[in-house]
């Protein structure tokens, strides 16, 4: 039960942290593209603004990577955005492998508890015989409690893991759309003025 309890505590910590970190307003805040367009139009896009943008959100990191190459061609901007996207996606997926591992090993830990409970039950039967029902019930209770506890940890962990995978896919798609929108807006603006 101790490893199952530790898994449940770790799982709850990861789930809480991921719910906090993967909020849409933290990853893909609204209004970044109009703000960037305003900075570029007014000529106020400088290193301080880029650093602020990088530290703002995951989308900000991606957009800042593209803006570093603002005076390069469209393909260069897209390449730097794709490179930054890989790093951002890796950060968004942080701890998900651990959560999936907990979802996979918790039932196995429960099964291990079941086996040890049955071993104790049969060892006690060997010592006392079949005449005492308390011997059977205590071993069987240990076996069933650990199985239930393992499943109780595994099921929510797996559900949350799948939810976070889907949420990350959705956030990545939103970030890609925003980054392409920025490239289109900025390069459209450059073509009009040149």
Q: Which of 10-14, 31-35, 48-52 has the highest mean pLDDT?
A: 10-14
Quick one: pLDDT at residue 189? 54
Indicate whether 104 pLDDT > 90: yes
Quick one: pLDDT at residue 71? 78
Domain boundaries of the chain, sorted by first residue: 24-94+176-193
Indicate whether 192 pLDDT > 50: no
* 60: number of Cβ within 10 Å: 23
Q: What are phi and psi of 157, to 5 degrees?
A: -65, -45
Quick one: pLDDT at residue 98? 96
Indicate whether 193 pLDDT > 80: no
List Cβ neighbours of 58 (8 Å cut-off, separation of 6 or more): 26, 27, 28, 88, 91, 92, 171, 175
The whole-number average pLDDT for the span 27-45 is 85
Please state the pTM of the whole predicted model.
Answer: 0.81
At 140-185, the pLDDT tens digits run: 777 788 999 999 999 999 999 999 999 999 999 999 999 988 888 8
Please tell me the least confidently modeled range out of 25-29, 111-115, 123-127.
123-127
Indicate whether 45 pLDDT > 50: yes
132 vs 68, residue with greater confidence: 68
Indicate whether 52 pLDDT > 90: no
């Amino acid at each position: 039960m101790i490893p199952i309890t530790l898994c449940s505590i770790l799982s709850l910590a990861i789930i809480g942290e991921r719910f906090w970190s993967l909020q849409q307003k933290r990853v893909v805040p609204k209004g970044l593209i109009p703000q960037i367009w305003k900075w570029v139009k007014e000529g106020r896009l400088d290193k301080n603004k880029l650093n602020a943008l990088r530290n703002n959100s995951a989308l900000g990191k991606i957009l800042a990577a593209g803006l570093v190459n603002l005076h390069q061609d469209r393909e260069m901007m897209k390449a730097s955005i794709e490179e930054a996207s890989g790093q951002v996606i890796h950060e968004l997926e942080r701890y998900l492998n651990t959560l999936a591992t907990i979802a996979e090993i918790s039932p196995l830990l429960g099964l291990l508890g079941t086996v040890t409970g049955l071993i104790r039950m049969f060892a006690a039967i060997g010592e006392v015989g079949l005449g005492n029902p308390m011997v059977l019930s205590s071993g069987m209770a240990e076996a069933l409690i650990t199985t239930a506890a393992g499943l109780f940890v595994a099921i929510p962990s797996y559900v949350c893991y799948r939810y976070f995978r889907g949420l990350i896919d959705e956030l990545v798609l939103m970030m890609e759309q925003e980054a392409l929108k920025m490239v289109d807006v900025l390069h459209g603006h450059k073509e009009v003025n040149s």
